[in-house]
Amino acid sequence: MVDQLSPLGPVWRPGSHGNFAAGVGVVLSETQPGSIVQVAAWPGEEKSLMAVIRTVAGLALPDGAGGGVFTEEKAAFGFAPGKFLVVDQAEGLFATLSAAITSEVGTVTDLSHGRTAICVAGPKAEWVLAKFFAIDFSLVAFPAGAGRSTVHHDIFAQIQRTGASQFDLYVFRSFARAVWTALCHASEEVGYEVQ
């Protein structure tokens, strides 16, 4: 497969930036998963679709809105009724899920070339993200593995908590540079590193 060029190239500035009086508040990085796939179940087929995700990707999704799960290599979360984002560091997840999800159960859409994944981590990650999104980012309201679908100034974002103080954001490639630049500006106050 052809290597994708990052849309962040022109604004990518590795190193430390901003106010470090209290240490590094946020670490920003781009992750480059091999597969980003959206799956959607037809009404009444949600459990069947979740079973396929468990069997094919090895990820057992919990019941309930926004529930999710992650490992070092894979992640999945519900972002709307019957809709899930499934991410794998390896390529080929779209073909595997497409073969396993029948047209009676739901649909599969490959988003790998249409999304950019940005990781926001550190002790001030919740605080920085709360500047953009009207979501309660506290660990109690947004537990590890959970996912949310939201917008910032009409820019759609899907967010998953992948650690106690770490979040992965999935945004349209065409808006990735604007989102990245805004995150950098918002993080200056607490000091940030680009890795």
Following DSSP, what letter does each residue of 47-101 receive, concatenated? HHHHHHHHHHH---PPSSTT-EEE-SSEEEEEEETTEEEEEESSS-HHHHHHHHS
Considering 47, 78, 110, which residue would you say is the last residue of a domain? Answer: 110
Read off the pLDDT band of 2 (50, 70, 90): low
The confidence score (pLDDT) of residue 143 equals 94
Q: Does residue 1 carry a pLDDT above 60?
A: no
Which range, of 65-74, 94-103, 129-138, averages the lowest pLDDT? 65-74
The confidence score (pLDDT) of residue 152 equals 85
> Smallest Cα–Cα separation from 143: which of 171, 167, 117?
167
Q: Does residue 179 carry a pLDDT above 90?
A: yes
The confidence score (pLDDT) of residue 153 equals 83
The confidence score (pLDDT) of residue 20 equals 84
Tell me if 1 is assigned to some domain: no
What's the CA gap between 93 and 168, in Å, rounded?
19
Q: 89: which 2 tokens?
A: 């560091």
Q: What is the pLDDT of residues 26-83, one digit of tens each?
A: 999 999 999 999 999 999 999 999 999 999 999 999 886 678 999 999 999 999 899 9
The torsion angles phi and psi of 130, rounded to 5 degrees, stand at -65, -20
- Give the total number of structural domains in the chain: 2
Count of beta carbons in the 10 Å neighbourhood of residue 81? 10
Considering 47, 77, 110, which residue would you say is the last residue of a domain? Answer: 110
Q: 22: which 2 tokens?
A: 């209290």
The confidence score (pLDDT) of residue 65 equals 67
Q: Which domain CATH number covers 141?
A: 3.30.1360.120
Domain match, 83 and 149 both: no
Prediction pTM value: 0.92
Range of the domain at 98: 35-110
Domain match, 105 and 118 both: no
Mean pLDDT, residues 85-91 taken together:
96
Mean pLDDT, residues 78-101 taken together:
95
Q: Are 67 and 53 in contact (CB under 8 A)?
A: no
What's the CA gap between 85 and 66, in Å, rounded?
11
What percent of the chain clears pLDDT 90, i.e. is strictly above it?
85
The confidence score (pLDDT) of residue 118 equals 97
Q: Are 90 and 35 in contact (CB under 8 A)?
A: yes
What's the CA gap between 27 and 124, in Å, rounded?
9
Pairing of strands 35-41, 83-88: antiparallel
What's the CA gap between 8 and 144, in Å, rounded?
27
Tell me if 189 is assigned to some domain: yes
Q: Are 117 and 70 in contact (CB under 8 A)?
A: no
The confidence score (pLDDT) of residue 22 equals 83
Radius of gyration of the chain (CA): 17
